[in-house]
Chains A and B, each alone.
Chain A
């Protein structure tokens, strides 16, 4: 603290005091201190004989917290120094948060893209695995894509109406007296359902269909849809409930005041106003279940062929495909060429083919989820309330 604290500062002193823009240094000073910190980090690490990019970044960042702060403290004063320090911490936290996300996307992208663009571009998405064995450099996931889409669609068709109607009940009807008590009970059960492990949902689907059909070996796509809907319903209920509660009471009253019955008010005003949020909540619920593996292994099984019938026979899905391919590990190549025993076509042999397929299928799964998100965004954009003039 300087002399300004002892005597009352004049107006001009207040304007030129320690924390005004005048003391603020241009941004390149911070670049210089950052450079100094990085150089210092390199030197220190070189002393220990282990210079690496990660090490330099981490140590350089830590050193810059100190160097940058002290430099700013001396040149700019205490308040600007605090500002610099907190800014660096916030950026650091942001960078740390981005690391897993970017590295995950990068890994999946650069490992997965190989199989999608080669050896024949997009053949991976149009073929299935019929007759593909060992290290054969061919095969695709069209059957798994179709299976995943169908089973998830089935799960959505079951969950969205149940979830949406439940949330409508909770928000619009369970408001007073006995219904309110019932609503609390429903909310509690939904919360419990949110915590159900996915394998338990799978067992539920399995047990349910075995009970109905009395066939312990039954595996059909619909069972997967039912198992996934057990996981999906609570997500849909809770998020749609939030969205419906966001619709202002005034809008409902405005509709009632015009002589609109309650059910039409819910359909035409409440749901219509909340449609953007509801779409997002359904998309999030789909994204939550589309990558589920365990319940599908139990209920749907696996199949190397295309089966687009939800109601009969095993189906392949992307998560179970990834699982089985990755578990197969490296293929054994006794010769350079492998022949399909049925079609008599020759293929090259690749030892890493199973891993390549797994990564490519993972990339495909991510792309599907991204596509769903884009569609949801578009729906939100076109249906959300417009405020413009």
Chain B
């Protein structure tokens, strides 16, 4: 189910502006890869190219190749909609659909696509997805209440449940805990640990403790200066990155000498 991601010679643009230059990396299946780096270095931008979400922004595009299961998602004739069904995403700000109940939010991937689903299959999918997001016990008695009525941390787990309900192979998380309190953050970090059994997870975070807690591998992005493109400086086992990084920039960033 979970797939490796092979990125080769990826250049990411906003109109004429080259935001991230020449990324080459292999992301391991069934593992958590954390991306760290100073603000504006392009780690979120890179993350959004992994499910072709980047091009939603007017004028944005990418060149190079991103292979999932041997197929380049930037190849000609590839429908970004299909890519996004296989590579799910969780955003920085919890964004449940305000017009939908908790149940409908979980089923959004099915219902918004006008797919028919039997009542019993839907019930099973709702329960398994909410259990998968560690939210079932908290909401099982109010599935028909609006999703916006949940707390911020619960909303974010609802968004994770919504993402896993479409059964993707990869889940991308863009600073999923930055709007949450420490307890909700912990709940999501525990969840990420469990989820890597089934999914390939890539998480962008500003919190280095979080990166060291949740990830197997860590990538460090940096930028030479304003207006210059970001680069993937180094990516390695998380333990090695935080104890004995090979690149001087990584060491400076991790030890807090800049950024």
A binds B: yes
Binding site for B on A (CB under 8 A): 175-177, 180, 248, 250-261, 264-265, 268-269, 272-273, 383, 385-389
15 A-B residue pairs with Cβ-Cβ distance under 8 Å, sorted by A, are A252-B56, A253-B95, A254-B162, A256-B84, A257-B163, A259-B83, A259-B86, A260-B81, A260-B108, A260-B113, A273-B97, A273-B98, A383-B99, A387-B148, A388-B145
Nearest-CB residue, chain A, relative to B95: A250
Q: Any chain A CB within 8 A of the CB of B191?
A: no
The answer to whether A385 and B146 have CB atoms under 8 Å apart is yes
Distance of A385 from chain B, by nearest CB (Å): 3
Nearest-neighbor residue (CB-CB) of A262 within chain B: B81
Is the Cβ of B148 less than 8 Å from the Cβ of A385?
Answer: yes
Q: A257-B91, A259-B83, A259-B85 are in contact. List 6 more A-B contacts (CB 8 A).
A: A251-B95, A251-B98, A254-B159, A257-B163, A258-B85, A258-B113
Residue of B nearest to A261 (CB): B81
A175 CB contacts on chain B under 8 angstroms: 58
Interface residues of B (CB under 8 A from A): 51, 53, 56, 58-59, 81-86, 88-89, 91, 93, 95-99, 108-109, 111-114, 142, 145-146, 148-149, 159, 162-163, 166
Quick check: B148 and A386 within 8 Å, CB to CB? yes
Q: In the complex the two chains form, what is the Cα distance from A268 to B104 in whole Å? A: 12
Q: Are B166 and A272 in contact (CB under 8 A)?
A: no
Instruction: Please state if B114 and A255 are interface contacts (CB–CB under 8 Å).
Output: no
Give Cα distance in the complex from A385 to B58, angstroms: 28
Determine if B112 and A387 form an interchain contact, defined as CB atoms under 8 angstroms apart: no
Closest Cβ–Cβ distance, residue B164 to chain A (whole Å)? 11
Q: How far is the CA of A258 from the CA of B56 in the complex (A)?
A: 14
Known: A176-B59, A251-B97. A259 touches B146 (CB 8 A): no
Q: Which 5 A-B pairs have the closest CB atoms?
A: A259-B85, A385-B98, A176-B58, A257-B89, A389-B149
CB neighbours (8 Å) of A257 from chain B are 51, 53, 84, 88-89, 91, 163
B81 CB contacts on chain A under 8 angstroms? 259-261
CB of A208 to closest CB in B, whole Å: 37
Query: Contact: A258 with B59, CB < 8 Å?
Result: no
- A254 neighbours in B (Cβ, 8 Å): 91, 95-97, 108, 159, 162
Q: In the complex, which residues of chain B have a beta carbon less than 8 angstroms from the beta carbon of A251?
A: 95, 97-98
Give Cα distance in the complex from A233 to B96, angstroms. 33
Contact pick for A387, options B51, B146, B163, CB 8 Å:
B146
Q: Are A260 and B112 in contact (CB under 8 A)?
A: yes
Q: How far is the CA of A385 from the CA of B88 in the complex (A)?
A: 25
Which of B59, B93, B99, B149 is A250 in contact with, Cβ under 8 Å?
A: B93
With contact pairs A269-B97, A387-B148 given, residues A255 and B108 touching in the complex (Cβ less than 8 Å): yes
Alpha-carbon distance A384/B203, docked complex (angstroms): 34
- Neighbour of A256 across the interface among B56, B58, B99, CB < 8 A: B56
A177 contacts B59, CB within 8 Å? yes
The minimal Cβ–Cβ distance linking B133 to chain A, given in whole angstroms, is 14
A259 contacts B93, CB within 8 Å?
A: no
Q: Are A253 and B109 in contact (CB under 8 A)?
A: no
The closest CB in chain B to the CB of A247 belongs to: B98
- B162 contacts across to A, CB distance below 8 A: 254, 258
A258 with B166: in contact, given A177-B59, A251-B95, A385-B146 (CB under 8 Å)? yes
Contacts of A256 in B (CB 8 A): 53, 56, 84
**Chain A residue with the shortest CB-CB distance to B89:** A257
Residues of the B chain whose Cβ atoms lie less than 8 Å from the Cβ of A389: 142, 145-146, 149
**Structural contact, A258 and B95, CB atoms closer than 8 A:** no
- Cross-chain contact B88 with A258 (CB below 8 angstroms): yes
Specify the chain B residue showing the minimal Cβ separation from A260: B112
Q: Closest CB-CB distance, A261 to chain B, in whole Å? A: 5
A258 x B53 contact (CB < 8 A): no
CA distance A319 to B179 in the complex (A): 56
The interface residues of chain A lying within 8 Å CB-to-CB of B85 are: 258-259
The answer to whether A388 and B149 touch across the interface, beta carbons within 8 angstroms, is yes
Question: How many whole Å from B47's CB to the nearest CB in chain A?
Answer: 12
- Are B114 and A264 in contact, with the CB atoms below 8 A? yes
Assuming the contacts A248-B95, A254-B97, A259-B85, asked whether A268 and B112 have C-beta atoms less than 8 A apart, the reply is yes
Q: Taking the nearest CB of chain A, how far is it from the CB of B79, in angstroms?
A: 9
Contacts of B109 in A (CB 8 A): 258-260
With A and B bound together, what is the CA distance between A59 and B166 in angstroms?
72
Chain B residue nearest to A177 in the complex (CB): B59
For B95, the chain A residues whose CB sits under 8 A away are 248, 250-251, 253-254
